[in-house]
Structure 1
Amino acid sequence: MTVSLPFNEDAQERKIRLGIRPEFFRPGGAQPVAGKITFVEAQGRETLYDVALEDGQILRSIQSATNAATVGEKVTWGIDVEKILMFDEDGVRL
């Protein structure tokens, strides 16, 4: 998966890991990401979704229970890039 991130001087010329909280991967997010829903779990007022990307990565999303997406459905949801967390190789947040 490729995303455009805001500039972070601490991340320059380093290997980094990205963290995306489930509430920041949703319909309407700024950076579109396409995938297929592989898991749905209703949890009262919220629903969890796992979305498999083309490269095999899984992104989890947590949304209002009013969303009616189903397993097997292809979706293009978005990531709120300003909310992405960056970590160095040792797990230290940048």
Structure 2
Amino acid sequence: MPEITREQVEHLARLAHIRMTEEELDAMSGDLEQILEHVSQVQAVAGEDVAPTSHPIPLENVFRADEPTGMLTQDQALDQAPDAEDGMFKVPAILDGE
């Protein structure tokens, strides 16, 4: 497996806009080397019959029925409004002449 050099880590840090000290750059090259070694071990074990996954447990979305409940009446909605007129919220005009 190719070695991750300090220069490669420095290049990646620059691309990601991450400031790293000299010690951090040296340590990170070793850490990335270990991570890639573990990934290669997993790849060696996973055979053709193992499908690639992003999560070990199958996920599915569970949605509840979209049924409106507990709605406010018009009076309740306008009760705390700073200004209301004819059953509607009244706001300052932001467009001239329209």
User: In which range does the TM-score fall when normalised by the shorter chain?
Assistant: under 0.3
**TM-score, length-normalised on structure 1?**
0.20
Quick check: which one's strand share is greater? 1
Does 1 or 2 have the higher relative contact order (CA < 8 Å, sep 6+)?
Answer: 1
**TM-score, length-normalised on structure 2?**
0.20
Structure index of larger Rg: 2
